[in-house]
Structure 1
Amino acid sequence: MLAKPDGGRLREGPEWTYEYKLDGYRACMSIAADGTTVLTSRNGIDFTDEFPDLAGVLTEALDGRSAVLDGEIVVYDDAGQIDFGLLQERRGRYQTHRSSVRRDEPFEDVPVRFLAFDLLQLGGRSLLAEPYDERRRQLTQLPMPDPYRVEVVRGFTFTDLAADRRTPRHLLEHVRSSGHEGLIAKLRTAAYSPGRRSDAWLKHPLIQTTEVIICGYRPGQGRLHGRMGGLLLGAHDPGTGDLVYIGDVGTGFTEAERGRLQTRLEALERKRHPFAVAPPRADVARAHWVTPEMVGEVVFRQFTRSGGRLRHTAWRGLREDKKPADVLLPHRPHPHAAETTPPELSRRPADSRAKSAAPVGDPPSAASPPAGPRITVQAGDRKLTLSNLDKPLYPDGFTKGEVISYYSHIAPVLLPHLAGRPVTFIRFPDGVGGEQFFEKNVPNGAPDWLPTVRIARSGTRGSTEPITYALLDELAALVWAANMAALELHVPQWTIDHKGARRPPDRLVFDLDPGPGTSIVQCCRVAERLHEALVADGLTPLAKTSGSKGMQLYCAITTDDPAAPSAYAKKLAQRLARETPDTVTAVMAKAQRTGRVFIDWSQNNPAKTTIAPYSLRGRDHPTVSTPITWNEVRTCRRPAQLMFTADDVLHRVDEHGDLLADLDTTRTALP
């Protein structure tokens, strides 16, 4: 039995019950009277050999009775959250090893769990015609002798929630904060209808995912040369049954997964595209077409109402448990379900003839007419003219309009970290992947109201003309910078006074850069050691990701000597490198960095800058330099745990506020 999308409206009332929406492989667990256990996927794939840990776990508890349970096979990460990516990695290893001498490898490092949510048969008696409440009652009465391997999914009736003075919306907030995918609302009186996508089960996802058919691929370029660069996707029109093109996906793949997919794609290559109507030529340049046999899953931000394209996609993994024939076009959300934008940023047509202002930030959709190439917006007390809001600046389709929307939403916590600090921009006028350049001097055409500061150049080489830096101290300045495609904002560890003179450094920074063979996971282990040393010296370190591969630690300090922070940071970095030379280096030379984390102490040089907190990065997708807690540092075991996109960060700030807000209140003298 399958769930329908609820159209963004979570159903409420005493006739409904709610279960967590799970992020794993849907599976049926069939236990014969003799205890033989068989696991099958939705489309009949036998999972039994792949998940031997689950075989026989209920045999003794059933005491000679047969049973059929419906549920989901899941994997948990170290933080106790269900992690589909880990399950996919496990499946990739299984696929690689199943035909080798290691085919019986138990994968004990990635334990699986079967979470049951329905009981379809017990003791030879079918329960399909019984109402949900009765099936649920009998399921919860079954003994669960090993809850680490098999357990019943928690259920919450509307009535039980009301008795606790809570609503389904309260439950949804709990689901969001605990990292689940969403909720499934189930009608308590409904029978079980195998194979039907029923109104009796309605899914309310917190993130949008959809199944897709792999119809082709683009070869990778640059560092991805020789491997798959991106997949071309399709789905069936539910009205006609035609296979239609719905866009592509180029991010979210591990290197190992790209290699596995490349091998399978090459075996399926064909000369012509498989779609009923040829896709736009511009969308499928360099395409290699394949027989549409493989099904995958992607995360997406939008399915366009005109054109029918997935936007801002990221790969989740293959779905061996799904058939291509079952993959239908994604559900189009209600036009008014879009996220709102800040009230202080509004737009009107450039000719100013509109009678009222409309929200700006998210790119235009069918719900609001296109704004045209140039629009005038109100940002705080100022008007600005913006252009090309629909222009993608990231390979995953994240547009300039969405960049502006992110910076306008994040402004309240970002601006305090930029206040009084000259900003160096990294601009991407043609988007990530195109030409990029550092810009220190304020460009020609900057607005007259933009505050600037002239600062003498460091060193003696090249021009001696002072640099005129921009100061971003209000929303309008941030929007102006974003409109120039200034994705990255870099600032020094010092501020200027009211006369424009440079003050002594007020921040100490350690930039932890993982060398080849390491990642932010190893940076976290070094950060823990630095935390201990800094606290012992009376400082209060706070952490953030770089938004790329590494991370930074900050301490608020006082000192009269501009050279002192670098000297202190270098001494501490060299100490850690001496103590553990195999894992840490304080030397910038690339030859010294393989397998080690480089503690870059030189970021404290007054001439250097560091990526600002909450700044976007110019990477494959819109990742952000994100403040994190020390608990997140200590529990990090995989790089993905500390990789945050613009959307992630906005949700984090809504939940936690600015995790660097205490930085200036913990200021102390530099040791």
Structure 2
Amino acid sequence: MARTADDSGRSRVPPWVEPMLAKPDGGRLREGPEWAYEYKLDGYRACLRIAPAGTGVLTSRNGIDFTAEFVELAGVLAETLDGRPAVLDGEIVVYNEAGQIDFGALQERRGRYQTHNVSRPGEPFEDVPVRFLAFDLLQLGSRKLSREPYEERRERLTQLPMPDPYRLSVVRRFTFTELDADRRTPEHLLEHVVASGHEGLVAKHRTSVYSPGRRSDAWLKHPLTQTTEVIVCGYRPGQGRIAGRMGSLLLGAHDPGTGDLVYLGDVGTGFSEAERSRLRTRLDALARRGHPFAVTPPREDSARARWVEPELVGEVEFRQFTRGAGRLRHTAWRGLREDKKPSDVLVPGPRRVVPKTEDPPSSRISLGTKVTVQAGKRQLTLSNLNKPLYPDGFTKGEVINYYSRVAPFLLPHLAARPVTFIRFPDGVGGEQFFEKNVPRGAPAWLSTVRLSRSRGSDEAITYALLDELGALVWAANMAALELHVPQWTVDGGGARRPPDRLVFDLDPGPGTSIVDCCRIAERLYDVLTGDGLEPLAKTSGSKGMQLCCGITTEDSAAPSAYAKKLAQRLAGETPDKVTASMAKAQRIGRVFIDWSQNNPAKTTVAPYSLRGREHPTVSAPIAWDEVRACHRPAQLTFTADDVLGRVDTLGDLFSALDATRVDLPRL
């Protein structure tokens, strides 16, 4: 339990209240007039205790004193309490530049605080604003409120004046009755939660008391992403560019039945370079000779492992937990949880089903061996729908579901453009191949165009034209995960039109990331808008991003020449950051501006296309505000599920591409 420097008189803070915890709701968000909903927050759970004299203490959920680290929050409410002691339950959070709660930024702040505390002890730490979001009031004055109904505690909390909302405010609350009066449902509220970037909802029974230290059915959490706490049990040293730092962490958790520490797998993504170094320093201090698990992990997983005492708790995001093997899949690191104890970390429960808004009829697909579906005006027979096409378990049925639901936004960007497929018949990791010619067995109704391989050539290729939902579903059923198109279209007679799009492909070289691409994109934006063009941005779905402009030109060679000139200009201005050369040796530590994709023979991945990577990531259109606010690669990594949520709330961010078409500037 946290202790204060003075436990007498007016300086005595109220005793710590062990926090009440929420249970998972099993994927079913509770409904009815007896329920209220609060945002599920992504920060550090904390109890704020204020003495009559205004002395404030912040205590984590497992009793750690947070006061020195977040001293700017401890006394913010004192002036409005008029000498009354108080105890508030809430969460310490950091907001990013997009106005969203960002746990990664809070973790980075913690790392800088620890470094500052060592190098400059006693000096004030003023780095990254933090905010305390209160959601419960447990004591006010001499009155203890934990036995009062939630509704009354909430009412008293909202009546407290908030003198500085930048540092302390009350979490927004929605009741089922209020939603119903507005002709809205909890599902509508979930859509708002997705759009605002929150983690999910917590449903709270309006008559419930506060039960310290207990997980209660009166509080039920409904996350929109799967996260879990893990125990750090070892690491593998980094190699290549991250040599000397931590490469990946080896994870464990306690079996809820036996209490044994069991191996859950590893995590190697989601770390900043500084965090890799900090973690290795901490882990080396906890080194032990052998692994700490009840059963030895597989040999291939423990190769090169350095084991540590299982004392640090972290949090990971994951897509799937395989019950048979007991492994987390598609993991990304979210940070250490200093506020949680190893003894509390249990193996994840069954996979949570994320509720979605009603799917269109075309996407209600059973996962049987074969099934006949109606896709628009076409009837198709689909097969092997439960076959995983991605290492994280994302199946062919889920691929078809994604393309069916995203079709209204994707099809306009494929219209009249010959499609080159990259097919993965055995899934990502198996054999893959480019396919330009329409394969044998294609349906007779499929639109196609026959084009010469090159000017004057007698050889021709018959390309598919994906101009309707049925064609898109047909392609997905062939495991055509990636769809690539040229910067030109064909007319009704099958003749090539001049280019109508200009593209800059920003490819991060070794030692750089999409964050560096964003900085180059901002410079290109200024140059392009200065030339009268209106660039739009999208992620590549892999490591980089692309800028696209709608153009008019009669010269098929002009877009490449113009793009090359701008790429060489930026490379000349900052040769240490940009290269316009295709030589791979020139790309180390630089962003390669690939201007050559404007060549009429080249193609670029289409907006909203999946990519054949480890996870089902998507080439996703993004707003310029998102480009400017990007400081971590994870901010611009979007999976199929992410993109479906984005188009539901944002629409097509590439819809203006044709409407903003202007003449290509002359060289």
For residue 393 of structure 1, the aligned residue among 390, 394, 398 is 390
Given candidates 560, 567, 581, the residue that maps to 2:561 is 567
1:268-667 aligned within 5 A: 268-272=287-291, 274-275=293-294, 290-303=308-321, 309-332=327-350, 343-344=361-362, 359-360=366-367, 371=368, 375=370, 378=373, 380=375, 381=378, 383=380, 386-387=383-384, 389-391=386-388, 393-394=390-391, 396-426=392-422, 434=429, 439-442=434-437, 447=442, 449=444, 455-457=451-453, 469-475=463-469, 478-479=472-473, 481-482=475-476, 486-498=480-492, 500-514=494-508, 519-528=513-522, 530-531=524-525, 533-535=527-529, 537-574=531-568, 586-588=580-582, 597-667=591-661
Partner Cα separation in structure 2 for residue 651 and residue 249 of structure 1: 26
Alignment partners' CA distance in 2, 1:385 and 1:416: 24
Partner amino acid, structure 1, of 2:623: T
Q: Which residue of structure 2 lines up, in the alignment, with residue 117 of structure 1?
A: 135
Unaligned runs of at least 5 residues, structure 1: 347-357, 361-370
TM superposition shift of 1:172: 3.4
Q: Which runs of 5+ in 2 are unaligned?
A: 1-19
Name the CA shift for 1:335/1:113 in 2 (closer, same or farther; >3 Å): closer
SS at match of 1:194: coil
Please report the TM-score for the alignment, with normalisation by the length of structure 1: 0.82
Can you list the C-alpha shifts for 1:293-335, whole angstroms capped at 9, x where unaligned?
3222222334456665544333222211111221234343677
Describe the shift of the 1:331–1:601 C-alpha distance in structure 2 as closer, same or farther (beyond 3 A): same
The corresponding residue for 2:88 is 69
Alpha-carbon distance in 2 for matches of 1:440, 1:52:
60
Q: Where in structure 2 are the equivalents of 1:207-226 lying within 5 Å?
A: 207-217=225-235
Shift, 1:486, TM fit: 4.5
Choose which of 105, 120, 126 in structure 2 pairs with 1:102.
120
Displacement of 1:237 in angstroms is 4.0
Q: Distance in 1 between matches of 2:632 and 2:300?
A: 37
Q: TM-score, normalising length from structure 2? A: 0.83
- Give the structure 2 partner of residue 36 of structure 1: 55
1:87 paired residue number: 106
Name the stretch that deviates more: 292-301 or 477-486.
477-486
Tell me which of 195, 206, 224 is aligned to 1:188: 206
For residues 435 and 163 of structure 1, do their structure 2 counterparts lie closer, same or farther at Cα, with a shift above 3 Å needed?
closer
Q: Which moved more, 1:253-262 or 1:161-170?
A: 161-170
Q: How many residues align?
A: 642
Deviates more, 1:436-445 or 1:638-647: 436-445
Question: Which of 259, 262, 269 lines up with 1:241 in the alignment?
Answer: 259
Task: Give 1:280 shift.
Answer: 6.9
Match of 2:42 among 1, 23, 27: 23
In structure 2, the CA distance between the partners of 1:469 and 1:226, relative to structure 1 (3 Å rule), is farther
Q: Report the alpha carbon displacement of residue 359 of structure 1 after superposing the two structures with TM.
A: 1.5
Deviation at 1:621, TM superposition (A): 3.0
Structure 1 residues 234 and 392 mapped into 2: Cα distance closer, same or farther (>3 Å)?
A: farther
Q: Percent identity?
A: 74
- How far is 1:411 from its partner? 3.2
Give the 3-state SS of the residue equivalent to 2:90 in structure 1. Answer: strand
- SS of the residue corresponding to residue 241 of structure 1 reads coil
- Is the 8 Å Cα contact of residues 45 and 61 (structure 2) preserved in structure 1? yes
What SS is found at the alignment partner of 1:509?
strand
> What is the deviation of 1:2?
0.8
Alpha-carbon distance in structure 2 between the residues aligned to 1:135 and 1:393: 47
Shift of residue 222 of structure 1? Answer: 6.5
With 331-340 and 532-541 compared, the bigger mean Cα shift is at 331-340
Match of 2:278 among 260, 264, 271: 260
1:53 aligns with 2:50: no
Matched residue of 1:92: which SS? helix
Aligned partner of residue 91 in structure 1, secondary structure: helix
Partner Cα separation in structure 2 for residue 307 and residue 517 of structure 1: 34
Residue identity in the other structure for 2:553 = T
Where 2:62 maps in the other structure, the secondary structure is: coil
- In structure 2, how many angstroms separate the alpha carbons of the residues matched to 1:258 and 1:486? 37
Three-state SS of the structure 1 residue aligned to 2:111 is helix
Q: What's the CA shift for 1:467?
A: 5.3
Instruction: Tell me which amino acid in the other structure corresponds to 1:78.
Output: E
* 1:563, distance to aligned residue in structure 2 (A): 1.0
- CA change 1:456–1:169 in 2 (3 A) is closer
Structure 2 match to 1:78: 97
CA distance in 2, matches of 1:288, 1:579: 45
Q: Is the 8 A contact 2:27 2:354 kept in 1?
A: no
With over 3 angstroms needed to count, the CA separation of the structure-2 counterparts of 1:148 and 1:656, relative to structure 1, is: closer
Secondary structure of the 1:87 match is: helix
Would the alpha carbon gap of residues 424 and 653 (structure 1) be closer, same or farther in structure 2, given more than 3 Å must change?
A: same
After superposition, what is the alpha-carbon deviation per residue over 1:203-240, rounded to whole angstroms, capped at 9, x for unaligned?
22222322223345556667666655544444334444
